[in-house]
Structure 1
Amino acid sequence: MNRSRTLPVAVVSLTAATALLLTGCGGGGDEKDSGKDKIAGADEGGAKKSASPSSDASADAKIDRPEMKFPSDVDLTFDKVSLSDADQAAAWNDAQNYARAIEYGIVKQDAGDAGYKFYSEIGSPAQSYAKKQIKDHIDAGYTVTGERRYTDVKVETVSKKKTVAVTFCTNDNKLFGKEVKSEKVLRTKPSIKDYSSWQISMTASKQTKGLWRADLIKVEGESQQCMG
C-alpha cells in the first residue's frame, strides 16, 4: 500500500504450534495460491451446527458491537460476495469488521481500541497483529487517508470445525499515509507495494451467538498474485 513506503506491511510469522494448524483450504482454491499455506484454524470439538440465514440475522441483531465511524477521507471498499451458507456469511462479515477495526484503530490513534479486540480472539496472533499495526502507525506519527479496496475474496468452511478460512487481497494504490501533526499526505505512485494478500481463520464465538472472531492470520506484502 502507499503508506507502506514508510510503514511496511508486516509479514506475520506464525509460531511452530500455530503453523501446525495451517492446511490447504481444499476445493475452490486458486492457482495463484499454489505453494502458499492457508489458515484452517483450531478444532474446538463437536460437530458443526447448521443454521439458517434468518436465524443468524436474528442473532446478529442482538450483538452489541463497538461503533466504528470513519472520517470522510477514509473509504474501505469490500467486494460483494454471495454466500448461501449462514456461517460463512457471518464469518465473512466479521472478517470485514476485523479488517475495518485495524484501520479504525489507526485513524483513532488508539492501540487499545475496543474494535479489534472485539473482533479477534484474546491473545491470538490476529489480535497481536492488529495491535502492532496500530501501534506502529502511532509511534511513527501517521494515520491514513484515501481508499483501500478488498478484493478476490474466498470463504471456505473447515470440515468438522467451527472455523471458517477467509482469504482476500488488499489494493492500496489510492490509500496514503498522512502525518498526524502536519496532516501532510504522503502521495506515492502505484506499485507492487500497494498489494497484500490476507489469510484469516475466523472462529465462532462460544459466548455470543452469531459473532465470529479472527484467530490466526497471515499477511504478505508486495503480493504479485493480488496484482492480477
Structure 2
Amino acid sequence: MNRSRTLPVAAVSMAAAAALLLTACGGGGEEDSGKDKIAGADDGAAKKSASPSAGKSEVPVTDRPKMPLPKDVSLVFDDVDMSDPDQAAAASDAHNFARAIRYGIVKQNMNDPAYKFYSELKSPAQAYAKDQIKQRVDKGLTISGEMRFSRTKVTPAENKKTSVVSFCSNSTKLYSKEVKTKKVHHTEPSINDYYSWQVLMTPSKNAKGLWRAQKVQVQDKAEECR
C-alpha cells in the first residue's frame, strides 16, 4: 500500500444515511483503513469549562484535545455555513472526528485520546477509528501531504436528537510515509483517492456543545466527490 488512502469498506448512499438515522432512533457513524474511550472515558468524565462570567443559562464550553500536526501534514476543511447551531456543531465535530483519526496516525498511537473524545465509548465509530490507526502502525506507516474535506451536509433525525453528517474527502495529495526511513511513497492521483463519508453524530449528554461519532460508513472510489 503506497498511497495513504482508505481501505475498502461498505459502499454508502443517501439510503445509508437514512439507515444510520433509523438504527439510532431516538439516540445515539467509518473511513480510511490504509491511506477507542473518550478523552475522559465517557460523557460524565468529559472535561468542561465555563467563562468566569458565565451565568447558569450559558452553555459550558468543552475542553477539547489539541491535535497539532507535523509540518508535512495538512488537513483542509471547507468552511461550513449553517444557521442552525446544532447542525453546525454536529458538522464541526464530525470533522474533528476525521481529524482525530489522522492525528492518531501521525502520533502512531492506536489509543490516542483525541479520537476517543470525538466518538462514543465502545461505539462502532470508535472501533473504526482505532482500526484505521492500528493498520498504519502495524505497517510502520504514517502520512505526509494534504487531505481536503468538502461538500459537508447535515441530515437531522426527525426527533433532532441525532444527525448524519456527510462530506467528501480528497487524498490525491496525501501519501504514505515510512516511520523509520521517512521515505514518502508518492503515487499518481486516481479515483481511489476520493471518499464519501456518512457519520452519525449524537450530542453529549453532559458535555454541552460537544457532538460525538457513533457510527460511520465510507464509500471508496466516490465519483461524486471528484
Query: TM-score when scaled to structure 1?
Result: 0.79
Runs of 4+ that moved beyond 4 A: none
Verify the 8 A CA contact 1:2 1:193 in the aligned structure 2.
no
Go from structure 1 to structure 2 and tell me whether the alpha carbon gap of 1:208 and 1:215 turns closer, same or farther (over 3 Å shift): same
Question: Residues 141-182 of structure 1, C-alpha deviation per residue, up to 9 Å, x if partnerless?
Answer: 100011000012111211113111100111000101000000
Question: Residues 106-162 of structure 1, C-alpha deviation per residue, up to 9 Å, x if partnerless?
Answer: 000000000000000011111011000000000011000110000121112111131
Equivalent residue letter for 1:119 = Y
Q: Secondary structure at the match of 1:168?
A: strand
Verify the 8 A CA contact 1:157 1:163 in the aligned structure 2.
yes
Q: 1:2 is matched with which residue? A: 3
Query: TM-score when scaled to structure 2?
Result: 0.80
Matches of 1:217 and 1:195, distance apart in 2: 16
Question: Residues 27-56 of structure 1, C-alpha deviation per residue, up to 9 Å, x if partnerless?
Answer: xxxxxx46x4213261336xxxxxxxxx9x
Q: 1:214 is matched with which residue? A: 213
Q: 1:37 is matched with which residue? A: 16
CA drift of 1:2 comes to: 3.0
Q: 1:26 is matched with which residue? A: none
Q: Secondary structure at the match of 1:220?
A: strand
CA drift of 1:12 comes to: 4.9
Tell me the number of residue pairs that the alignment of Structure 1 and Structure 2 aligns: 193
Matches of 2:167 and 2:3, distance apart in 1: 18
Equivalent residue letter for 2:199 = I
Matches of 1:37 and 1:192, distance apart in 2: 21
Q: 2:37 is matched with which residue? A: none
Question: Residues 6-36 of structure 1, C-alpha deviation per residue, up to 9 Å, x if partnerless?
Answer: xx524159xxxxxxxx9xxxxxxxxxx46x4
Verify the 8 A CA contact 1:9 1:220 in the aligned structure 2.
no
Verify the 8 A CA contact 1:2 1:174 in the aligned structure 2.
no
Q: Over the residues paired in the alignment, what is the CA RMSD in angstroms?
A: 2.1
Q: Secondary structure at the match of 1:131?
A: helix
Matches of 2:10 and 2:120, distance apart in 1: 16
Q: 2:156 is matched with which residue? A: 157
